[in-house]
Amino acid sequence: MIQSIYETHLHVRNLEKAIDFYQNKLGLALARKLSKRRVAFFWVGENKKQMLGLWEVHNIEDFETKHFAFGVDLEFLKISKLWLENREIEVIGSQGKGNQEPIVQRWMPAASVYFLIVTETN
């Protein structure tokens, strides 16, 4: 039976800037960088149970924008806006709601804080 998502991949336009963002702004651990293939992998969470892959893509037809969400505990969720802003990451609103507090997704159940990755890393 499926228990979790082990690995997901995102397209980025500049691998080095994306690595800097995920490693130094979000604090993810770089697992491996394959310079010739223009790809990097990060461990997400503990015990090497989840991985995020970043693939550098320059051809606009091949580039795909994606959405994904990190899981955090309730205490971190409460301070996540300040945590992101302290790292110069802009928190944005979604679904017509502002960005002052997490947006409750009642049907999941979950709460969300939205932010965009800086343009140079997309």
Residue 75: strand, helix, or coil: helix
CATH code: domain 1-57 is 3.10.180.10
Which tens digits make up the pLDDT trace of 88-116? 998 988 877 777 888 888 888 888 888 88
Which tens digits make up the pLDDT trace of 28-56? 999 999 999 999 999 998 888 899 999 99
Q: Which pLDDT does position 21 carry in this prediction?
A: 95
Q: Whole-prediction pTM value?
A: 0.81
* β-strands 7-12, 50-56 pairing: parallel
CA distances from 88 to 14, 21, 83, 116 (A): 19, 11, 9, 11
Query: What spatial distance separates the first Cα and last Cα of the chain, rounded to whole Å?
Result: 33
Residue 96: strand, helix, or coil: coil
Computed over every residue of the chain, the mean pLDDT equals 87
Residue 24 tokens read as 């130094």
**Per-domain boundaries in the chain:** 1-57, 70-122
Q: Which amino acid is at 102?
A: P
